Amino acid sequence: MTIRLMARALAMVVVVASLACGGGSPTSPSGGSGSGSGSGSGSGGQTGGGSNGINRGTITAQIDGVNFTGVATAATNQSGIFATAASNSNATITFGFGALANAGTTSIGPTSPTNAQLVITSGSTTQSWSAGTSGGSGSLTITSINATSATGTFSFNLVPSAGSSATGTKSVTNGTFSVTF
């Protein structure tokens, strides 16, 4: 129970930290043209990192069939917990997840420490979907992890987060990540 709560809390901190990395308002997960210091590129016309220039790697996926490429603005491997989050160039779509810091595949479930969260901000509206102990499903495969980096794949079905105005579910497929700590 304690590890599950630590993983969820750490992933949430990483997502919140990534939200603070810029501003703007694209209309789809792929973003659009945007500005920001840092490096990185992706499909859908998005380039650049968050406004603070942090680039810890890349997270890519399809969110409801729309390509998302985000610059990883946060990544950590501490106390046996791995968590990372990425934002598109306008920092209006932030996606993050956390799990035990072990190579292999874990699934989201009532007793699993694996979790994911998607936050989409459009204008003054912020909506949030998640997968974790309270709903949603999916899996995360950590292909490799060490003291300085992690790579892997993922897919999630996210449900509206408690207290969010979000509706419906979000399907995250074909996910890949390559991040450094």
Q: What is the residue-wise DSSP string for 16-56? A: HHHHTT-----SSTT--S---SS--B-GGG-B---TT----
The torsion angles phi and psi of 17, rounded to 5 degrees, stand at -60, -40
pLDDT tens for 2-19 read: 444 444 444 444 444 444
The structure's pTM equals 0.76
Tell me the CA distances in angstroms from 71 to 95, 107, 120, one per residue in order: 10, 24, 15
pLDDT in tens, 36-93: 333 333 333 333 334 456 899 999 999 999 999 999 999 999 999 999 999 987 668 9
Average the pLDDT over 137-151 and give the result. 97
